[in-house]
Amino acid sequence: MNKVYGSAAEALDGVLKDGMTIAAGGFGLCGIPELLIAAIRDAGTKNLTVASNNAGVDDFGLGLLLETKQVKKMISSYVGENAEFMRQYLAGELELEFNPQGTLAERMRAGGAGIPGFYTKTGVGTVIADGKEEKEFDGELYILERGLVADLSIVKAWKGDEQGNLMYRKTARNFNPPAATCGKICIAEVEEIVPTGSLDPDLIHTPGIYVTRLIKGDHEKRIEQRTVRAA
């Protein structure tokens, strides 16, 4: 089975559909699948529900899909860097489901592991708990969170082999591993594709069984907030 495709557009061909749910890896602008996001924008797929730690910035990352109003709903933890997100949300043009970061990561991991739900103390007594089942364990109150299963996962890795085994580099090993597992289809973009068998099995973070398609690309690697001092 050939998993390697020539471009993001080719890898997404036949996968995208209006109204689908997409799980996107990355944290801030680190480790985001920027090429796949841009290709989804170019494809014009709309009414998307996107589960991601954040919503990018105004002109990069998931901010590109917000700019074109292709996103109907965001499932996120942090959205403070995106003015267009704020404008759409306050105007009632965008649905938002806030998840604590650890809860969102565990929802993705649970979905990928076939676990339909789990109990957590995070969010008890806050608006996060509204409408959710509560249960007491050992005298402590917990809320039920559902595992998250997406139609498509898009992730960014450092290296991948031809079978889709992935290695992430440093901070980019954030939401990418759990996001990769929770999609019915997973498409990964990598900086380098190496021959099968050349990766140390002990250093593989996402096994290729989870990865459906793979592309190699050049990445911009933006800095989200650049702070400098005078020379």
Which of 117, 116, 69 lies closest to 95 in space, CA to CA?
Answer: 69
The per-residue pLDDT for range 185-221, each reduced to its tens digit, is 999 999 999 999 999 999 999 999 999 999 999 887 7
Q: What is the mean pLDDT of the chain?
A: 94
CB atoms within 10 A of CB 85: 25
Sheet bearing 140-146, strands edge to edge: 117-120, 140-146, 134-137
Domain boundaries, the chain: 8-122+137-216
- The confidence score (pLDDT) of residue 56 equals 84
The per-residue pLDDT for range 67-86, each reduced to its tens digit, is 999 999 999 998 777 889 88
Q: Is the pLDDT score of 102 beyond 80?
A: yes
- Cα separation, 229 vs 171, in Å, equals 24
Q: Tokens 């702070």 correspond to what residue? A: 227
What proportion of the chain, given as a percentage, has pLDDT over 90? Answer: 84
Q: Is the pLDDT score of 140 beyond 90?
A: yes
Residue 71 · residue 140 · CB < 8 Å: no
Q: Is the pLDDT score of 8 beyond 90?
A: yes
Confidence band, pLDDT 50/70/90 cuts, at residue 4:
very high
- Cα separation, 198 vs 200, in Å, equals 7
CATH match of 8-122+137-216 with 3.40.1080.10: yes
